């Protein structure tokens, strides 16, 4: 007789109701999980993957209604009206949770040791008081924290993000759970750290035989580190099966779209869509040259006084006309600061930015205005960069009106052209941004940036707020636009694969310094700097 699966769920539906509006977050989802098995749950935002983790832990909000034909975890009926006390017991012993963002999951005012101690005290293992400290240190060591003693005595802000996530894994292990539910456990971490944390998780599964549900949007991660996969689209399971089989030969169109959309490190710059006509870029000599950029941000805190945050320390870069310069770096590397300086939003403390021989940083009055018509900027967040009260037409028309380059029928024509070029229906012109999706909004933002036909567009992480499938469309759009109009891009991203597909040259930034730069192919094939190599290595790959 075989042992029954650890987890069995059949026909699980979750419905949220707010103010009479019902939203179906999960629609008849079924799954089962063996002991020691690793299951990936894949989906974009709105797919219901977080709801699925919450339902397994019993932490849904109160306006959620759950129905299920069956739901059994290690012999416990999950949806048979467990009381809060029973849930608490279950969470302390059988199912553990690793949350998305380690920075907000730990209590900032308690030492890590005390938080581990609390977990040990609450666990049904009844660890003696005198043994708890040793036990906690052992747990920390087990998840790969080298200086466990120090981490034990530290506050969360004193240890690195990767260590914080390891602490959370250690806390999850306290109750010797049968199932670990990890909700995008690495998406808040930098790539170099991501890999080590996922490795630690893998090791645990191998050693202890615990089962793992890994929620992720990253198909490469799923491919490398799970046995089976469940693809969710808008609350429904569209495909499931062995991970290798699904990723090699996806059956469902949605899975295929997701897979196609994953940027790849190995192919070169994307090709423009065939059949696009090229507008004569005219004679464009001289691109952008930035030299010795230095910027330090000053913030005031009533209690801590003046805080100096060095963002950029002496960066040089040059962008040739009609090409893309990709600037890659982890959070806090200063890449957005450089983007803002180049676009003329912020001023550098030191250094110069010359665009076609003109000094951007020192330009004033009419010169500055002319420069601004030539350099445009696209924000990372399409939700905050468009005035929610404007019609789309007025959003796109704003640069034309602001710089007084067109009016009347000419303005009308150019706005409609711009919308058409970015692939939006003309009817969208009368809508407001609140009625659009994120991808549509970013298209509008791009339309606004090209309506003046600028020579350089600064793109600050323009696709990182978007889902993978939308991301791919926007990237293709950027390639096509460059092909058609010959504008140069300064493309900022934390994602090496995205940079690879869009850029001609790449610069690697760390803590405000440019570690290395060169043609994309060379840098990726033969990284000179150790850090670049680590960045490239730590990216999850399709084998």
| Interaction residues for other proteins, span 290-319 (CB under 8 A) | 303-305, 307-309
Residue whose CB is less far from other proteins, 161 or 439: 439
If one asks whether residue 271 binds other proteins (CB under 8 A), the answer comes out as no
Of 479-538, binders to other proteins (CB under 8 A) are none
Question: Least Å distance between CB 469 and other proteins?
Answer: 9
If one asks whether residue 215 binds other proteins (CB under 8 A), the answer comes out as no
Q: Tokens 């870029």 appear where?
A: 281
Q: CB under 8 A: which stretch of 5-13, 215-223, 242-250, 340-348 binds other proteins?
A: 340-348
Helix (H) or strand (E) holding 39: strand 38-42
Question: Least Å distance between CB 47 and other proteins?
Answer: 7
Structure tokens at 49: 């993957």
If one asks whether residue 21 binds other proteins (CB under 8 A), the answer comes out as yes
From candidates 152, 355, 379, 489, binder to other proteins by CB under 8 A? 379
Helix (H) or strand (E) holding 313: strand 305-319
Residue whose CB is less far from other proteins, 79 or 155: 155
If one asks whether residue 190 binds other proteins (CB under 8 A), the answer comes out as no
If one asks whether residue 135 binds other proteins (CB under 8 A), the answer comes out as no
Q: CB neighbours of 158 closer than 8 A, spacing ≥ 6? A: none
Residue whose CB is less far from other proteins, 122 or 271: 122
If one asks whether residue 343 binds other proteins (CB under 8 A), the answer comes out as yes
Radius of gyration in angstroms for the set of CA atoms belonging to the chain, rounded to a whole number: 26
Cβ neighbourhood burial of 129 (10 Å; 0-12, 13-18, 19+): exposed
Residue whose CB is less far from other proteins, 154 or 541: 154
Own/partner pairs for 62-68, CB < 8 Å, 24+ apart? 63/16, 63/17, 63/18, 64/14, 64/15, 64/16, 64/25, 65/14, 65/15, 65/16, 65/17, 66/12, 66/13, 66/14, 67/11, 67/12, 67/13, 67/15, 68/9, 68/10, 68/11, 68/12, 68/13
If one asks whether residue 160 binds other proteins (CB under 8 A), the answer comes out as no
Q: CB under 8 A: which stretch of 131-139, 199-207, 215-223, 462-470 binds other proteins?
A: 462-470
Of 31-90, binders to other proteins (CB under 8 A) are 44-51, 54, 57, 59-63, 84, 88-90
Q: CB under 8 A: which stretch of 170-178, 211-219, 351-359, 500-508 binds other proteins?
A: 170-178
If one asks whether residue 107 binds other proteins (CB under 8 A), the answer comes out as yes
Q: CB under 8 A: which stretch of 274-282, 401-409, 506-514, 516-524 binds other proteins?
A: 401-409
Q: Which of 346, 311, 339 is nearest to 462 (CA)?
A: 339
If one asks whether residue 369 binds other proteins (CB under 8 A), the answer comes out as yes
Question: Least Å distance between CB 196 and other proteins?
Answer: 22
Residue whose CB is less far from other proteins, 45 or 264: 45
If one asks whether residue 147 binds other proteins (CB under 8 A), the answer comes out as no
Residues facing 176 on adjacent strands: none
Contact 95, 42 (CB under 8 A): no
Report the alpha-carbon distance of residue 360 to residue 449 in Å, rounded: 18
For the chain, how far is it from start to end, CA to CA, in angstroms? 37
Q: CB under 8 A: which stretch of 17-25, 191-199, 288-296, 313-321 binds other proteins?
A: 17-25
If one asks whether residue 153 binds other proteins (CB under 8 A), the answer comes out as no
Report the alpha-carbon distance of residue 84 to residue 180 in Å, rounded: 20
If one asks whether residue 335 binds other proteins (CB under 8 A), the answer comes out as no
Output the DSSP codes for 251-263.
-SHHHHHHHHHS-
Alpha carbon 160 to its chain's center: 19
Cβ neighbourhood burial of 350 (10 Å; 0-12, 13-18, 19+): middle
From candidates 166, 228, 372, 414, binder to other proteins by CB under 8 A? 372
């Amino acid at each position: 007789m075989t042992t029954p699966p650890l987890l069995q769920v059949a026909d699980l539906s979750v419905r949220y109701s707010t103010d009479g509006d019902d939203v179906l977050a999960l629609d008849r989802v079924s799954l089962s999980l063996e002991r020691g098995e690793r299951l990936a749950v894949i989906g974009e935002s709105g797919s219901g993957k977080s709801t699925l983790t919450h339902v397994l832990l019993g932490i849904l909000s109160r306006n959620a209604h759950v129905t299920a034909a069956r739901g059994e975890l290690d012999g416990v009926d999950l949806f048979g009206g467990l009381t809060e006390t029973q849930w608490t017991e279950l969470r302390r012993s059988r199912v553990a949770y690793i949350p998305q963002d380690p920075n907000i999951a730990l209590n900032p005012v308690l030492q890590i040791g005390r938080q581990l101690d609390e977990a040990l005290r609450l666990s049904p293992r009844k660890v003696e008081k005198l043994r708890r400290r040793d036990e906690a240190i052992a747990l920390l060591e087990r998840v790969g924290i080298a200086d466990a003693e120090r981490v034990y005595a530290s506050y969360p802000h004193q240890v690195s993000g990767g260590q914080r996530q390891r602490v959370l894994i250690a806390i999850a292990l306290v109750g010797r759970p049968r199932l670990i539910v990890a909700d995008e456990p690495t998406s808040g971490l930098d790539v170099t750290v991501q890999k080590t944390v996922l490795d630690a998780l893998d090791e645990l599964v191998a050693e202890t035989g615990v089962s793992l549900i890994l929620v992720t949007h990253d198909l490469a991660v799923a491919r490398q580190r799970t046995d089976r996969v469940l693809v969710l689209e808008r609350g429904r399971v569209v495909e499931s099966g062995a991970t290798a089989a699904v990723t090699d030969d996806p059956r469902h169109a949605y899975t295929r779209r997701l897979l196609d959309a994953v940027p790849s490190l190995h192919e070169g710059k994307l090709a423009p869509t065939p059949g696009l006509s090229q507008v004569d870029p005219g004679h464009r000599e001289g691109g952008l040259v930035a030299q010795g950029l230095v910027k330090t941000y000053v913030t005031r805190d009533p209690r801590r006084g003046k805080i100096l945050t060095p963002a950029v320390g002496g960066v040089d870069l040059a962008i040739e006309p009609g090409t893309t310069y990709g600037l890659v770096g982890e959070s806090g590397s200063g890449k957005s600061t450089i983007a803002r300086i180049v676009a003329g939003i912020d001023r550098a403390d030191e250094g110069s930015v010359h665009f076609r021989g003109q000094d951007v940083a020192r330009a004033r009055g009419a010169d500055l205005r002319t420069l601004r018509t030539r350099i445009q900027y696209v924000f990372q967040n399409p939700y905050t960069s468009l005035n929610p009260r404007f019609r789309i037409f007025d959003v796109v028309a704003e640069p034309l009106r602001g710089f007084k380059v067109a009016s009347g029928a000419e303005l009308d024509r150019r706005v409609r052209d711009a919308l058409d070029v970015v692939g939006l229906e003309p009817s969208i012109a009368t809508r407001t941004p609140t009625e659009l999706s994120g991808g549509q909004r970013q298209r509008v933002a791009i339309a606004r940036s090209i309506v003046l036909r600028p020579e350089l567009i600064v793109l600050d992480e323009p696709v990182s707020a978007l889902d993978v499938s939308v991301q791919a469309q926007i990237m293709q759009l950027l390639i096509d636009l460059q092909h058609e109009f010959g504008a140069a891009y300064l493309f900022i991203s934390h994602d090496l694969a995205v940079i690879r597909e869009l850029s001609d040259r790449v610069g690697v930034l760390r803590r405000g310094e440019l570690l290395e730069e060169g043609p994309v192919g060379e840098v990726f094939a033969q990284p000179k700097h150790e850090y670049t190599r680590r960045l490239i290595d730590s990216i999850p790959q399709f084998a």
